[in-house]
Amino acid sequence: MSVEQALTIADLKEQARRRVPKMFFEYADSGAWTEGTYRANEEDFHKIKLRQRVLVDMTNRSLASEMIGENVSMPVAIAPTGFTGMQHADGEMLAAQAAEEFGVPFTLSTMSICSIEDVRSVTSKPFWFQLYVMQDRDFVLNLIDRAKAAGCSALVLTLDLQILGQRHKDLRNGLSAPPRFTPKHLWQMATRPFWCLDMLGTKRRTFGNIVGHAKGVGDLSSLSSWTSEQFDPQLSWKDIEWIRERWGGKLILKGILDEEDARMSLGSGADAIIVSNHGGRQLDGAASSISMLPRIVDAVGDQMEVHLDGGIRSGQDVLKALCYGAKGTYIGRPFLYGLGAGGKAGVRRTLEIIRKELDVTMALCGERDVKNLSRNNLLKDV
Ligand SMILES: Cc1cc2nc3c(=O)[nH]c(=O)nc-3n(C[C@H](O)[C@H](O)[C@H](O)COP(=O)(O)O)c2cc1C
Cα 80 to ligand 1 centre (Å): 6
Query: For position 58, what pLDDT does the model report?
Result: 94
- Ligand 1 pocket test, candidate residues 29, 46, 81, most atoms within 8 A of CB: 81
Average pLDDT over residues 216-243: 87
What span, in angstroms and rounded, lies between the C-alpha atoms of 60 and 57? 9
pTM given for the model:
0.97
Q: Say how many Å lie between the CA of residue 331 and the centre of ligand 1.
A: 8
- Residue 381 in this model has a pLDDT that exceeds 60: no
pLDDT value, residue 180: 67
Query: Which residues form the pocket of ligand 1, taking CB atoms under 6 Å from any ligand atom?
Result: 27-28, 41, 79-82, 109, 111, 130, 158, 254, 276, 278-279, 281, 309-312, 331-333, 336
Tell me which of 24, 281, 288 to substitute to probe ligand 1's pocket, judged by most ligand atoms within 8 Å of the beta carbon.
Answer: 281
Percent of the chain whose pLDDT exceeds 90: 90
- For residue 177, the model assigns a pLDDT of 62
Q: Output the average pLDDT for the chain.
A: 95
- The catalytically annotated residue of 46, 88, 213, 278 is 278
Q: Is the pLDDT of residue 1 over 90?
A: no
The ligand 1 atom at the shortest distance from the C-alpha of residue 42 is: 26
Convert the chain into a string of H (helix), E (strand) and C (coil). CCHHHCCCHHHHHHHHHHHCCHHHHHHHCCCCCCCHHHHHHHHHHHCCCECCCCCCCCCCCECCEEECCEEECCCEEECCCCCHHHCCCCHHHHHHHHHHHHCCCEEECCCCCCCHHHHHHCCCCCCEEEECCECCHHHHHHHHHHHHHCCCCEEEEECCCCCCCCCHHHHHCCCCCCCCCCHHHHHHHHCCHHHHHHHHCCCCCCCCCCCCCCCCCCCHHHHHHHHHHHECCCCCHHHHHHHHHHHCCEEEEEEECCHHHHHHHHHHCCCEEEECCHHHCCCCCCCCHHHHHHHHHHHHCCCCEEEEECCCCCHHHHHHHHHCCCCEEEECHHHHHHHHHHHHHHHHHHHHHHHHHHHHHHHHCCCCEHHHCCHHHECCCC
pLDDT of residue 90: 98
Active site annotation includes 168:
no
Task: Give residue 314 CA to ligand 1 midpoint distance, Å.
Answer: 17
